Amino acid sequence: MARYLIGMTGASGSAYGVDFVRRCPGEKFLVMSDWARKVLHDETGLKPSDLESSVKKVFADSDLAAPFSSGSNRYDALVVIPCSVSTLAKIAAGIADTLITRAAQVAMKERMRVILCVRETPLSTLALRNALELSREGVVIMPIAPPWYRQPKTLDELVTGFTDKVLGLLGEDAGAGWREAELE
Ligand SMILES: Cc1cc2nc3c(=O)[nH]c(=O)nc-3n(C[C@H](O)[C@H](O)[C@H](O)COP(=O)(O)O)c2cc1C
């Protein structure tokens, strides 16, 4: 069974994080920044405790002594969804003063997978430069940009259109691809 560390930060788009936390299979651990908790409540009305049943364990972002602060506890991918440009900048600068940013540094040094679902618009030159630096390190920069080619009818479908793309990157079941029926 795959093991995933999921980070949620204070960017807009908590719904994407919630959907990913709920639908991603495998053994899941969740870390939410303080601002993620605030934005989650503002945007969805949910409390962090509402996500607890979907994961094996929740760690505090301030807990730098948590197991994933060390490279000796391996996993298949760190997915930060949504990822603020502040967290993007910290990771690019090598800052590791929260569990999410520390886990990102550890994942990069240990050559484990990192996917950052960045949400900000427009993007400053600085944010673009940070994204480029990290992309060169092998980090997947995945701006939250839901596809419309599935012709979503509801907000839920719009959200899952994007989270399915993240699941696909991880090799998990991500539903039918675009015009996949034509491959038959
Ligand atoms: C309602 C709300 C929406 C926000 N949306 C974004 C956003 O879309 N992208 C972003 O980078 N920061 C956004 N921010 C700002 C971040 O929350 C802020 O920079 C915070 O310090 C990020 O810290 P974190 O990355 O540790 O969660 C938003 C803040 C609030 C209160």
- Across 98-125, average pLDDT: 98
Query: Cα–Cα distance between 86 and 91 in angstroms, integer?
Result: 9
Helix axes 85-93, 125-136, angle to 10 degrees: 50
Indicate if ligand 1 lies below 6 Å from the C-beta of 88: no
- Across 83-111, average pLDDT: 98
Residue 110, helix vs strand vs coil: coil
Residue 181: the pLDDT is 84
Query: Cα–Cα distance between 9 and 42 in angstroms, integer?
Result: 13
Atom number in ligand 1 closest to CA 42: 1
Q: Is the pLDDT of residue 120 over 90?
A: yes
Residues 77 and 115 sit within 8 Å (Cβ to Cβ): yes
Residue 174: the pLDDT is 85
Higher pLDDT, 177 or 149: 149
Q: Is the pLDDT of residue 135 over 90?
A: yes
Indicate if ligand 1 lies below 6 Å from the C-beta of 14: no
- Give, for ligand 1, the residue of 44, 84, 99, 128 to mutate: max count of ligand atoms closer than 8 Å to Cβ: 84
Return the bridge partners of 3, or none. 27
pTM for this predicted structure: 0.97
Angle at 15 between CA 138 and CA 105, to 5 degrees: 25
Query: Cα–Cα distance between 182 and 108 in angstroms, integer?
Result: 39
Query: Cα–Cα distance between 56 and 15 in angstroms, integer?
Result: 20
Cα 19–chain centre separation:
11
Atom number in ligand 1 closest to CA 34: 27
DSSP 103-121: HHHHHHHTT-EEEEEE--S
Instruction: Tell how far the Cα of 18 is from the centroid of ligand 1, in angstroms.
Output: 16
Residue 180: the pLDDT is 83
175 phi-psi bin (left φ>0, alpha ψ -120 to 50, beta other): left
